[in-house]
Chain A
Amino acid sequence: MRAEDALLYLPGRLDAVSAGQHWSSLTADLRRLQPKTLTIDAGALEFLDGAGIALLLTLKQIQQQTGGTSYVEHLNPSFQTLLDNNTLKGLTPDVPKQASFRRIAEDLGWAGHTLFCDMKNHISFLGELAYKVTTSLMHPARIRWKDFLLLTEKAGADAITITGLMGFLIGLILAFQSAVAMGKFGADLYVADLLVLSMFKEMGPLITAFILASRSGSAYAAEIGTMKVNEELDALHTFGMDPVRFLAVPRVLALVTALPMLTLFNILLALFGGQAVMGLMGIPPIVFWDRCRQAADLMDLFGGLAKTFVFGYFIAAIGCQRGLETGKGASAVGDAATRAVVTCIVMIVVVDGLFAVAYYYLGI
């Protein structure tokens, strides 16, 4: 049943506070009643601000949508000018998206397509970078050695403290946990074997790679991403300088150099941590180090270190690629850094798995 006429009396102030209090009820009532004519008596209106004008315009718009008319009467001429000078043109009602099979299928399809394109870009970029690193190494004068040294210092020397600390604590925890379990069988001396083999082959390279992925991989993505947002990459292009050779090659070389050395520090400090726990359990240091020497050989150490060259390459490459792919705006830089860390971690685990398979068949 449609109401014939409605009268809305507006006394006092119509500002953000009063409009906020009455907005929902007024618009809901108007939609429900759908009067043919809405008359707004604004004769006693003392103040009208932007929110008030928006409310009057909204009421007018609802009347238009429902086929009715509206009049604002006795409005102060200065308020009338404000009302006449404003419109809600372009405002579209907020329609919540309905969940449907089609929308879910579309979302899944897009996600798959994005993943496929992302992997294609990865492979393409890794190939391009490998080619440029190789050609740069064949022409060493083209490498920016000053940048390389600075980047190696930042990624390597500056990360010694955190890498060493992490190694020491992990060695401490690993030795303690295994000593508790193995002590029950009188095998606590063999904690040294467990520690040295796990640190040489898996834990040392993996932990150090994770630290560098979160430290340097994200930094490279953010740094290059900011350069892209600030159009510095466009400037490089217009000078005829290839951003991959200029930015990515020194970073790859820096991480490939720094990661194996940091891994050695990490392993060494982990063994010190293990020795500290064993010392507390009454096993002399000489016995611990002798067990370590007997349990592992150089092949175990170099097998682990070989992986770090590949990890270093992937961390730097992914960090740079995510930076180069950065979109526009400050949030895009944050997204690039986050995506760099996530991709690096996934890539490290995948590469580690491939190494494990390869070492198994090679008998290492």
Chain B
Amino acid sequence: MDTPTQTKPIIRVCGMDGGYGETVILKDINFEVYEGEVFIILGGSGCGKSTMLKFMIGLEHPFRGQVEIDGIEIVNATEDEYNRALRSFGVMYQNGALFGSMTLMENICLVLEEFTNLPSDGRQAIAQMRLNQVGLGDAADTMPSDLSGGMRKRAAIARAMALDPKILFLDEPSAGLDPITSAQMDELILELSRTLKITFVIVTHELPSIFTVADRCIMLDRNVKTIVATGKPREMQAHSKNPWVRQFFNRQASEQVS
């Protein structure tokens, strides 16, 4: 894996403030994600991790600031610019968000049908290839409701990869999974990162996953509403002077913080 200094930033977030209604959830957020790295946004429940993800993919608008994805500034982008930016990333939502009335094959083919001129057998070949990549090659004709939580998440990754995105945003990929399935998910992320050179931006608070997959991470704090630490997770755990960061990595309850 290249270090950040050897690759160029593919995502830039500058001076971002955001929230819902009058409530400010995030203040003065600045960071960069480099091409090919696995970047983790971590923090406790309610600190604004998923909200930040929504700002980054343009589902919600921040109060101010800029988000640049693959050279396109998406906060003030025109519809055409935003649509171009959409082609460069895929998103896996927390519960998969697969279309319940379609099989896994149809879920992936739908995206390809909409955005490419590939014939039906071509779309099916790509969908099968993507399903094989996430270990669901035998489940192409299965309905999402017949899959376990982990399988649904893997299928959602396969769908997100349908159009060869440069970046994959994953919202809580390990949440609600047993340790074995969670470890399989981590392996999948590392495998896709290594073989397809996809940049991953992952929102999570699962410590084992963070240590396994992360190249770099940022940590958000609910109290100060901004980034309180940036770096490699092991270094943050070992050297951070911030009590909240130490508390998070050492899994301490709040009253134990000195």
Cross-chain contact B144 with A329 (CB below 8 angstroms): yes
Is A19's beta carbon under 8 Å from chain B?
yes
Closest chain A residue to B162 by CB distance?
Answer: A50
Cα A321 to Cα B101 in complex, Å, equals: 22
Cα A93 to Cα B140 in complex, Å, equals: 13
> Chain A 72-116, CB within 8 Å of chain B: the 1/0 string?
000000000110011111110110000000000000000000000
> Chain B 109-145, CB within 8 Å of chain A: the 1/0 string?
0001001111111101110111111000110100111
Q: Give chain B nearest CB distance to A78 CB in angstroms.
A: 8
Also in contact, A331 and B101, with CB within 8 A (given A16-B118, A50-B164): yes
Cross-chain contact A51 with B164 (CB below 8 angstroms): yes
Cross-chain contact A54 with B122 (CB below 8 angstroms): yes
Is B100's beta carbon under 8 Å from chain A?
yes
Is B161's beta carbon under 8 Å from chain A?
yes
Cross-chain contact B100 with A90 (CB below 8 angstroms): no
Cα A329 to Cα B102 in complex, Å, equals: 10
Cα A103 to Cα B233 in complex, Å, equals: 60
Residues of A325-339 at the interface with B, using a CB-CB cut-off of 8 Å, are 327-332
Interface class of chain B by DSSP = helix
Cross-chain contact B119 with A54 (CB below 8 angstroms): no
Count of CB-CB pairs between chains A and B under 8 Å: 97
Cross-chain contact A86 with B133 (CB below 8 angstroms): yes
Cα A23 to Cα B124 in complex, Å, equals: 12
Tell me which residues across on chain A come within 8 A of B116, comparing CB atoms: 16-17, 20, 51
Is B254's beta carbon under 8 Å from chain A?
no
> Chain A 308-343, CB within 8 Å of chain B: the 1/0 string?
000000000000000000011111100000000000
Partner of A90, one of B118, B128, B145, B163: B128
Q: Give chain A nearest CB distance to B61 CB in angstroms.
A: 27
Chain B CB within 10 A, most for which of A86, A91, A327: A91
Cα A327 to Cα B124 in complex, Å, equals: 27
Cα A90 to Cα B146 in complex, Å, equals: 19
Partner of B129, one of A15, A16, A54, A81: A54
Q: Give chain B nearest CB distance to A20 CB in angstroms.
A: 4
Tell me which residues across on chain A come within 8 A of B143, comparing CB atoms: 328-329
Cross-chain contact A57 with B196 (CB below 8 angstroms): no
Closest chain B residue to A23 by CB distance?
Answer: B122
Is A24's beta carbon under 8 Å from chain B?
yes
Q: Give chain B nearest CB distance to A32 CB in angstroms.
A: 15
Is A69's beta carbon under 8 Å from chain B?
no
Cross-chain contact B132 with A50 (CB below 8 angstroms): no
Closest chain B residue to A331 by CB distance?
Answer: B101
Is A294's beta carbon under 8 Å from chain B?
no
Is A38's beta carbon under 8 Å from chain B?
no
Closest chain A residue to B126 by CB distance?
Answer: A54
Also in contact, A88 and B100, with CB within 8 A (given A23-B119, A329-B145): no
Which residues does B use to contact A, with CB under 8 Å?
A: 100-101, 112, 115-122, 124-126, 128-133, 137-138, 140, 143-146, 161-164, 195-196
Which residues does A use to contact B, with CB under 8 Å?
A: 15-17, 19-21, 23-24, 27, 49-51, 53-55, 57-58, 81-82, 85-91, 93-94, 327-332
Known A51-B164, A85-B133, A86-B132; further 8 A-B contacts with Cβ < 8 A: A51-B122, A87-B132, A90-B131, A327-B145, A328-B143, A328-B145, A329-B145, A332-B100
